Structure 1
Amino acid sequence: MRIAIFSDTYVPEVNGVARTLKRLADYLTEREIDYKLFVPETLESTAPKTPTIERFRSIPFMLYRECRLAFPNIVQLKQSVEAFNPNIIHVATPFNLGLFAHHFGKKHHIPMVASYHTHFDDYLSYYHLDFLDKWLWKYMKWFHRPFEKVYVPSESTKAKLAFHDFHSNIDIWGRGVDQNFFTPQKRSTLIKKNYGITEKNIILYAGRIAPEKDIETVIKTYFNLPKSLFKNTHLIMAGDGPLLSELKEKYYKEITFTGFANSDQLAELYASADIFMFPSATETFGNVVLEALSSGLPVIGADKGGTKHLVSDRRTGYLCSPGDVASFTKACTEILTNTNLKAYMGRQARIQAMAYSWEDIFTKLMASYSIVVEQKRKATA
């Protein structure tokens, strides 16, 4: 099998799509399966340069600067894809590189699959662009129509796309977690020392510091804690994004903002915190939620989107109505004031995360690829 993967985001960019594709690339490399990634260039000097990755000049995408719009030399890209001679194309983003793959696959009758990762329609309201909603759905449905299959990461995402009559063949491609990397064993007292934290409890948020992640609910919940509990609790917000500088300037005395945190730092933060709060209602999956669970950390999340499939309410944490500060506050209070409950939820979180194996997920994806290739072969024979 020769797999051509097209995406407008890839490591060292930090987001769920980029990290998932890196995991897939590592899996394919280990099993000596032929593949080639066609992705944007990056400003980071650490961007990997290998025979399996071809990069093209790009600019940041307006709504999501961690995702980039590539502007490839079409002649060069066409020659490169033809030389690789893929027998299946996987498109991860519906932008410029995806459009080229869309056209190339149709023209040459190559089996094509797509993966849907981001609810861009949910982002529109946060950026006052609701008027684009109808046009966005029209474009997304047109773009995905020629694909043999569309992969989504969760049942709620599948249901949403089915409601919009998005595609006739939608399948679940879930996510895994490295349980040996994200583990309770990485708990460290150095976290408090390094950040000058004297409070007993730590609430952690990790992810993009952006409006669509409902950062407002995180901050309001923290300041809404009962006074006695607030005095003994500190909030750490790990990540980068458009709201970081503004919030850091406003709350620098009360909240620790780490900025960008690499995987090693995140693993230590997860394991050393007492609660992971993630109120985002726009998730298709929620990779950081699964990482927190694997680290033995109770999660308080929104009862919507991908998060609700990962958190078992009252067993591995709490699910709250999106934006309901009172509900999030009550959940935080119950966990932080009950040592036995916190320990129970932490153990159950770790147990639940152990079921999410990257090996199983990618094995199923390869089997699905094979079925798509065979069905296309029979249809065109």
Structure 2
Amino acid sequence: MHVLHIVDSYGGTEVYKNLFMALDSLGIKQTIFVPLNASNHNRIGNHLIDFQVSGSKIIYSTALKSYHKFLYQFKISTILKVITSYINIDEIDLIHAATLCVNGAVAHELNKRYRIPYICAVRNTDMELYYKYFRWRINYFFKIFKGASQVIFICPQYQRKFVQERVPFVYKKNAEKKVVNIPNGVDPLFLNDRVLDLPNLSGAIHIIFASAFVKGKGLKEIILAIAMLRDKGYNIDIRAVGRGLPFRNENKKYLQEIETIANQYDWVHLENYMNKRDLKMLFRESHIFVMPSKPETFGLVYVEALTQNLPIVYAKGQGFDGYFSEGYVGYHVEAFNVVDIANKIELIITEYDDIVERIARIDLKEQFSWGKIAQKYYNIYKSIVGK
């Protein structure tokens, strides 16, 4: 079986690399085509893979220019032209598109020309960018959805929202058969080294945040929420990790604002980006993970925090919301709502012992190991190619 992956954001997050390596271990031949946007050319060569399956490869394209982001159809046709020039389409059994509206559009056009089946994922960029700001293309987006053999949602929230709001009523029953929820996996560094001890909250309460210092992650609101709790008498500090995270576009003005606020409080500690091994050790020194991120497709870091037995605070209606019942591993909040963030942190403190005991009982490997997830994709591939 030879799968063509179309993934324009390869080289940023390690999610795709981990999936492709896991599929490689199952013996699947893969061609990974990466049509980089103009601002992402520095990703070339990042997350290279030592494939075990002969003939598997990564192909980068820098054909897209900055103006392509405004010219949707021209962008799709440009990617198509490069793919058909560099890849022998006759060798491809299945196309796996990383997004619906762009990568999926290319897969859809290849399907129309060559009758190659395709699957695609729906991600944050589809829901929060293309469906919002390219509304005149919504009918075309539905054609992509309808033409796919399977549509993958990384989180249950986006799956429900998409079927309810983006699928015509007459097609909803068919749509529910087509969609499937498959989460991203978590690095074995975390899954294979879990903390199952039940900590207590004697002394200072250490909160940790781990992400790029960008507005959508809610770091400013977290700091203000903790200030409210400290005014109520709670001894809480925060360590925020992620300044300078590679391949993330930090806003200098926002970063300066965060640093200005942090300088006002001796209980706020800002840390530069660190490797996962060091982050894991920092998790073990912490009590609660807080990141009310919006928008958020999934949020691997939530599961990484759970492996170290940390209760979590996450954004309502975003990627991680819905994987566990409310209150089971933590609480969702209205993103950027300082009072709600403070209230939910306080609620976790009140219920801390019960929450960490529940987290310790969860089989996270069964849900979030790349081996299990790759097997799900492999089964989907076989069911489609075998038809």
Query: In the aligned structure 2, how far is the partner of 1:61 from the partner of 1:279?
Result: 33
Query: Match of 1:201?
Result: 205
Other-structure match for 1:246: 256
Instruction: Name structure 1 gaps, 5 residues minimum.
Output: 64-68, 188-198, 376-381
Distance 1:233 1:281, change over 3 A: same
Tell me the distance in 2 between the aligned counterparts of 1:211 and 1:366: 37
* Residue in structure 2 matched with residue 6 of structure 1 by the alignment: 6
Q: Structure 2: how far apart are the matches of 1:276 and 1:61?
A: 39
Aligned partner of residue 304 in structure 1, secondary structure: coil
The residue number in structure 1 matching 2:345 is 332
What SS does structure 1 have at the residue aligned with 2:213? coil
Per the alignment, residue 287 of structure 2 pairs with 274
AA partner of residue 114 (structure 2) = H
Equivalent residue number for residue 134 of structure 1: 135
Pick from 202, 225, 230 the counterpart of residue 226 of structure 1: 230
Equivalents in 1 of 2:323, 2:260: separation in Å?
A: 33
Structure 2 equivalent of residue 373 of structure 1? 385
Contact 1:300–1:320 (Cα < 8 Å) also in 2: yes
User: What is the TM-score with the length of structure 2 in the denominator?
Assistant: 0.75
Matched, 1:316 2:329: yes
Give the 5 Å matches for 1:1-381.
Answer: 1-11=1-11, 13-14=12-13, 19-40=14-35, 42-44=41-43, 47-49=46-48, 52-57=57-62, 77-82=83-88, 85-94=91-100, 98-118=104-124, 120-122=126-128, 132=133, 134-135=135-136, 137-163=138-164, 164-165=166-167, 168=175, 169-178=178-187, 180-182=189-191, 183-185=193-195, 200-227=204-231, 229=233, 232-238=236-242, 240=245, 241-243=249-251, 245-253=255-263, 254=265, 255-336=268-349, 341-352=351-362, 353-356=364-367, 357-375=369-387
**Partner letter of residue 272 of structure 1?**
E
State how far apart, in whole Å, the 2-side matches of 1:62 and 1:320 are.
36
Secondary structure in structure 2 of the residue aligned to 1:308 = coil
The structure showing larger relative contact order (alpha-carbon pairs under 8 Å, at least 6 residues apart) is 2
The answer for unaligned runs of 5 or more in structure 2 is 50-55, 70-74, 198-202
TM-score, length of structure 1 as denominator length: 0.76
Q: Do the aligned residues in 2 keep the contact of 1:301 with 1:311 (CA within 8 Å)?
A: no
Percent identity between matched residues is: 19
Cα deviations by residue, 1:171-202 (Å, 9 ceiling, x for unpaired): 22223334552545599xxxxxxxxxxx9332
Note if contact 2:213-2:255 (Cα within 8 Å) is conserved in structure 1. no
Q: How much has 1:5 moved relative to structure 2?
A: 0.3
Contact (CA 8 Å) 1:117, 1:284: kept in 2 or not?
A: yes
Contact 1:184 1:271 in 2 (8 A): no
Offset of residue 121 of structure 1: 4.1
Alpha-carbon contact 2:6-2:33 (below 8 Å) kept: yes
Q: Report the AA paired with residue 358 of structure 1.
A: W
Partners of 1:284 and 1:136 lie apart in 2 by: 22
Q: Comparing 105-114 with 215-224, which one deviates more in the overlay?
A: 215-224
Q: Is the 8 A contact 1:248 1:257 kept in 2?
A: no
Residues 44, 60 of structure 2: 8 Å contact kept: no
- Is contact 1:156-1:284 (8 Å) kept? no
Deviations 1:358-379 (A, max 9, x none): 322221221111112233xxxx
SS at match of 2:271: strand
SS at match of 2:190: coil
Question: What is the CA deviation profile of residues 225-246 of structure 1, one whole-angstrom value per residue up to 9, with x for unaligned ones?
Answer: 1336565422424354434523
